[in-house]
Amino acid sequence: MPGPGPNAPLRLPPKCTRCQINRVAWTTPRVDFCYGCLPGGPFASPPCQRCGDRADYFSQGLCGRCHPRSPEHIDACKGCLAWGVYPRHNWTCWSCRWWQGHYPKGTCKHCGRATHVSDTQACRLCLENARFDQAPGRAPDVAGSNRHSQQLFFANMVFKRRVSELPTYVTWDGRWSQKNKNQLPHQPGTRFDEDAPEQLTLFDMDPDPEVLRQRILVEDSDLTRYCAAILADHASRYGWSVRQRNAVMQTLRMLQTVRPTPTALIRASEVVAMRRYDGTISSTIDVLAEAELLIEDVPTRVERYFTAKFIDSGALPDTMRQHLELWLQIMLGGSRQAPRQFPREPETVELHIQGLAPVVQAWVEAGRQSFAEITQDDILTALAGLPKNTSHRHFAENGLKSLFKILKGRRLVFANPMRGIDLTRVATNIPLPLDTELIRAELDSPNPATALAVALIAFHALTGKQVRELQMTDIVDGRLRLNGRDIPLAAPVRTRLAAWLDYRNRTWPNSANPHLLINRRTAPRLVSGGHSFPWKDCGIRPRALREDRILHEIHATGGDVRRICDLFGLSVEGATRYLATIEHPDLTGEDR
């Protein structure tokens, strides 16, 4: 099929209207099909008019390597003119991408190009040419090396040195490097305290993100200098990558740029606000906490839920609000004062709040000003409005029992109105078996973390919380030691454990996290994974998988409750729930 020469104006050709995979054969003249979808075809594509290649035809008579709009077209880097970059990376090599993120735009005083320049007003091309002629122990002569000509090079050919070969500048030895502004010493007498005079904000206006990005490239403050050695030492101990360490330093620069009071302690809410500018939040908070510069003022999920249920309405009397805040403080933090109490799980406190909210709201609407006015009749009336044998009434009863127990122990009420009220039992459901094929499919998941978590529960009936909190030292010689139990791991579990440990060692070789299952977010820290890890893309929930394992065991043993309690750490009451399925016609277990 005839067409114009290769010098015709080129643009990104659209996709074929039939297959929507290949690009159209020609744009000038217009052809809406590729050669394989042309009417009367398919036809063989012609050779490239520039290089003669027949195997990789793209469009307009050119192959993928020769067409300027092809994703496989190779050209020179916009920053250092190195050959070998692709359009999907904005015609920029890896070194220049880092360079553009750390230095502002300007004019190189050696070659005169308008590009990103360093503190010495030299572009990366001139600096690399100077390093070719740099003598040992001497600074590079940028002006002399670029006086007559410049040597170009291939892109992405500079390899990173090994971690063991990196310079050890993470500790203070009395000398500071002058070539990196992130290692300069802070001014003598620099201190950050919460008593610093704070400049109040008159107008809450967000800065322009582009102006802020250019400003932080030249930002050099006492905060970044003060945290430089602390950040480097923290990154070395926790196995952070160079990219993560640089991202934290960039967030510190960004934070110092937008703060109205540079010498005041930093609130965690100010760091969280940097998320709108793509700041690194969690790692920055860890570094500031280690530097003792952080004021933790970000409420937890339970505190936000408590505020939404009781405080935001504004109708709660002051006495009730103070009592509820005291109750929340003791529930989350425990109490050493008699009556002593251990801290409760945040999920338990959230369920208590869910049950208390409608009851307390009804008392406020009735005109009650304090919990000391509440009688047993008021509680019975409030509970009578909730359906029996439901989770809502169960949560309300447990929440009221916990609230008045704490208030009575602190002598804030005359008597405990919940005393003598029997708590209603919630009807439990019947454990049901899972599809065996679904379990097998998840055991062979391509994600090694998911396969290991499913195997631990499917063979040993661990809970989801136990899997999250497992540590590397809990497994020794193929045996799992958990809560005083010594569990020999099954062969399929050991196979998946070995696969996960190999993957973990390859992906995060320097991670100091002691937990067995880690991810990208928890690898540079010491915390466990969240509730959704590694179950987010899994078709099975850990609770249902555990119930399936216990249900299979109790049917295989003919209802041996003692064995179930010893094998899985259940109470007698918990094992009785599975014992009730022995005589169920649909759960006899013959088909398993």
Q: What separation in angstroms does the CA of 24 have from each of 19, 46, 51, 54, 350?
A: 10, 13, 20, 16, 58
Q: Judge contact between 491 and 455, C-beta under 8 A.
A: no
pLDDT on residue 393:
86
**What fold does the segment set 436-578 form as a domain?**
hpI Integrase; Chain A (1.10.443)
Helix-then-strand count for the chain, H and E: 20, 11
10 Å Cβ neighbour count for 526?
13
Spell out the residues 6+ positions from residue 23 whose beta carbon is closer than 8 angstroms to its own: 13, 14, 15, 16, 34, 58, 59
Q: Where in the chain is the domain with CATH 1.10.443.10?
A: 436-578
Predicted TM-score (pTM) of the model is: 0.64
Tell me which H or E stretch contains 475. Answer: strand 475-476
Spell out the residues 6+ positions from residue 224 whose beta carbon is closer than 8 angstroms to its own: 181, 182, 249, 252, 253, 256
Q: Is the pLDDT of residue 475 over 60?
A: yes
What one-character-per-residue DSSP string does 47-111 give? PPTTT--STTEEETTEETTT-TTSTT--EE-TTT--EEE-GGGTT--HHHHHHHTTS-EEE-TTT
Q: Is the pLDDT of residue 500 over 90?
A: yes
- Nearest alpha-carbon partner for 46 in 58, 37, 30: 58
Is residue 65 very low, low, confident or very high in pLDDT (cuts 50, 70, 90)? confident
Residue with tokens 């009451």: 573
Q: Judge contact between 80 and 128, C-beta under 8 A.
A: yes
> Which stretch of 141-155, 386-400, 527-541, 562-576 has the lowest confidence by average pLDDT?
562-576
- Could you report the per-residue pLDDT of 87-106, keeping only the tens digit for each? 877 888 988 988 888 888 88
- Could you report the per-residue pLDDT of 165-216, keeping only the tens digit for each? 333 433 444 444 444 455 555 555 566 766 666 666 777 777 777 777 777 7
Interior angle at CA 97, CA 95 and CA 102, nearest 5: 95
Percent of the chain beyond pLDDT 70? 88
- Could you report the per-residue pLDDT of 317-345, keeping only the tens digit for each? 899 999 999 999 999 988 888 888 898 98
Edge-first strand order for the sheet with 475-476 is 475-476, 479-482, 485-488
Handedness of CA 47, 59, 55, 87 (dihedral sign): positive
Is residue 578 very low, low, confident or very high in pLDDT (cuts 50, 70, 90)? confident
10 Å Cβ neighbour count for 558?
9
- Could you report the per-residue pLDDT of 518-562, keeping only the tens digit for each? 998 888 888 888 888 888 888 888 888 988 888 888 888 887 888
The alpha carbon of 172 is separated from its chain's Cα centroid by a whole number of angstroms, namely 32
10 Å Cβ neighbour count for 384?
9
Residue 119 to residue 99: CA distance in whole angstroms? 12
- Answer whether the bond into residue 387 is a cis peptide, omega within 30°: no
